[in-house]
A and B are shown apart, each in its own frame.
Chain A
Amino acid sequence: MINTETTIRFSPMYRLQWEEAQQKFVILYPEGMVELNQSSAEILKLCDGSRALPAIVAELEQKFATSGLTNDVTNFLNVALQNGWIQHD
């Protein structure tokens, strides 16, 4: 489960990349690929080892001039953690 204290980073076992031909971000791994929607990609781009959950939420809320994103972001990051795309430092 995602905790609120430790910073989160994208796993070195995966690659997050913009695909020009598909006009979307994708996650690449051995012999596979996951296509991301825009909000998932925005969340994962902030998983760079410098932020914990509250800072990620704050940054997204500021960027999209909105509030109340904590639940959605937490839910997605839990899925991402389960899939091994991200890890806690």
Chain B
Amino acid sequence: MAGSNTINITSPRWLLAELSYKCPLQCPYCSNPLDYAKYPNELSTEDWKRVLSQARKMGAVQLGFSGGEPLTRQDLPELVRYARELGYYSNLITSGYGLTEDKIIELKQAGLDHIQVSIQASSQELNDHLAGTTTYQHKQEVARLVKKHGYPMVLCVVIHRQNIHQMPEILAMAESLGADYLELANTQYYGWAHINRDALLPTREQFAEAEKIAQAFKEKVAGKMKIYYVVPDYYEDRPKACMNGWATTFLTIAPDGTALPCHSARELPGLDCPNVNDFSIEQIWNESKAFNFFRGTDWMQEPCRSCDEKHKDFGGCRCQAFLFNGDAASTDPVCSKSPERHRIDAAINSARELALSADEKPLVFRNSKNSKQF
């Protein structure tokens, strides 16, 4: 294949289909872009089918229907059925809002493999406050129905300073709901979570305590429930192997058809992310500027360039490098070898000061009104 370098291009395995930015919830740590209101267009059913076919042909097999809230799309069962025919393993990543028993049955018959329900907290008051809607009771009911209809049930709880003290209750809730998998996702600070970071980032002591509790629980439920623990990278001294390396495995398609190497990449300047209305998935994956930008290791600067761990963590996260250093090609500042590590420590301290003070900082909720300010 023609190309200016010798990078071995692997084929996509994961396709994240963000069907819509519409969402009835307003979670202040949402990973959608702050300015999502600028992109109201949505791909048609036929467009999505074309995307699914093309990505499947290249080797994508795990498919996430996400958003926003994917249930806002009336054609979801049709897309699920089409994905099943193509041989995808389909995951519905939902708030549960609007999910009825009839819909759960309809989606099962269409071939949906699994439903991941997010719950914001273990108490109604906090859940409904964080979600910005009254959803707690319904989410519990949905979790039970998911189980009842034979899906593997994955409960996802995003962890941050407002709910980290509930860790024992969250674990008990997962157990009583009969979750097969529990995803304890420490908040990753991009998008809405980034602007709310001072109010969301737990202190190091809070993390250590919560992790200890989660670890003990993991041992207790071994063989019954699998725990996915998304690590809080600010408290690590090596960066995460973000996306398993740029454009090696993951492909995200945003609601308007923009193809992204990771779901936050929209924030990065100069990428010119291509749209599925203009190019095929094969062209996008193999030939586009955006997908080749941080492939391999040639783009790296020091200290990554000469680091013997560069094939392990790929220099960390490009979006985090941009958010902290203003340069997406720099080393992820989480790395203790980065000359900019002090910026992460400053963020930790800033959140800590707020946590220990009597002051409260209002959360900026994710909704169209707030999005229009960005």
A residues sitting closer than 8 Å to B (CB atoms) are 12-13, 15, 17, 19, 21-22, 26, 28-33, 82, 84
Contact = CB atoms under 8 A, between A and B. Distances in A.
A22 B91 contact: no
Interface stretch (B57-65, B68-76, B121-129, B351-359): B57-65
Interface of B: 11, 13, 57-59, 61-62, 64, 87, 89, 91, 113-114, 116, 150, 152, 154, 180-181, 223, 228
Nearest to B59: A21
B87 A17 contact: yes
Contacts of A33: 13, 61-62, 89
Nearest to B224: A84
Nearest to B60: A21
A30 B154 contact: yes
A15 B100 CA distance: 25
Contacts of A22: 59
> In this complex, which of A12, A13, A15, A82 has the most chain B Cβ atoms within 10 angstroms of its Cβ?
A13
Contacts of B62: 28, 31-33
7 contacts: A21-B57, A28-B62, A29-B89, A29-B114, A30-B116, A31-B114, A33-B62
B114 A26 contact: no
Contacts of B87: 17
A31 B92 CA distance: 10
Contact of B152 (A19, A21, A30): A30
Nearest to A30: B114
Contacts of B113: 15, 28, 30
B252 to A, nearest CB: 14
